[in-house]
Amino acid sequence: MKRHWWKETIVYQIYPRSFQDSNGDGIGDLRGIISRIDYIASLGIETLWLCPIFKSPNDDNGYDVSDYRDIMEDFGSMEDFDELLIELKKRNLKIILDLVPNHSSDEHFWFKESKKSKDNPYRDYYYWKKPKSNGDPPTNWISYFAPSTWEFDDNTGEYYLHLFSKKQPDLNWENPKVRQEIYDIMHFWMGKGIHGFRLDVLPFISKDLSFPDKTEDNFDGNFGRFYANGPRLHEFIQEMNNEVISKYDMMTVGEGPGITPEQALDYVGENRKELHTIYHFDHMDIDRDPYDYYGYKKYSLIEFKQIVTDWDRLVDMGGWNTAFLGNHDFPRIVSRFGNDKTYRKQAAKLLCMFLMTQRGTPYIYFGDEIGMTNVPWEELGKYRDLWVFDGFEKHLKKGGKKEDFLKNLKHTSRDNARTPMQWNNKKNGGFSEGVPWIDLNPNYENVNVENAENAKDSILHFYRKMISVRKGNKTLIYGNYLDLEPLDENLFIYSRKDDSHTFLICLNFSDHCITYQSDMLNQRSDVILCNYGMRNSVSTGKIEFEPWHCLLIKISRS
Ligand code: NOJ
Domain-wise residue ranges, the chain: 5-99+178-466, 109-161, 479-554
Q: What mean pLDDT is reported for the chain?
A: 96
What atom of ligand 1 comes closest to residue 328's alpha carbon? 5
What does DSSP say about strands 542-545 and 514-517: parallel, antiparallel, or unpaired? antiparallel
- pLDDT(217) > 90: no
Q: Residue 67 belongs to what H/E stretch? A: strand 67-71
Can you say how many angstroms the Cα of residue 136 is from the centroid of all Cα atoms in its chain?
35
Candidates 46, 255, 274, 488; catalytic one: 255
pLDDT on residue 248: 98
Round the CA-based radius of gyration of the chain to a whole number and report it: 24
Ligand 1-lining residues (CB < 6 angstroms): 60, 63, 100, 164, 200-201, 255, 328-329
Q: b/e per residue, 216-227, with b = 16+ CB within 10 A? A: eeeeeeebbebb
pLDDT of res. 294: 76
User: Domain 5-99+178-466: what homologous superfamily?
Assistant: Glycosidases (3.20.20.80)
CA 68 centroid distance within chain: 21
How confident is the model at residue 504, as a pLDDT?
97
| pTM as predicted | 0.97
Protein residue with least CA distance to atom 6, ligand 1: 63
Q: Evaluate if residue 290 carries a pLDDT over 90.
A: no
**Residue 534: predicted pLDDT:** 64
Where residue 228 falls among pLDDT bands split at 50, 70, 90? confident
Nearest in space to 415 (alpha carbons), one of 435, 396, 433, 389: 389
- C-alpha 515 chain-centroid distance: 35
CATH 2.60.40.1180 fits 479-554, yes or no: yes
- How many Å apart are CA 552 and CA 542, to the nearest integer? 14
Check if 450 is active-site. no
Q: Is 25 a catalytic residue?
A: no
Site to probe by mutation for ligand 1, drawn from 60, 96, 149, 328 as the one with most ligand atoms within 8 Å of Cβ, is 60
Q: From the CA of 320, how far away is ligand 1's center (Å)? A: 23
> Is CATH 3.40.1080.10 the classification given to domain 109-161?
no
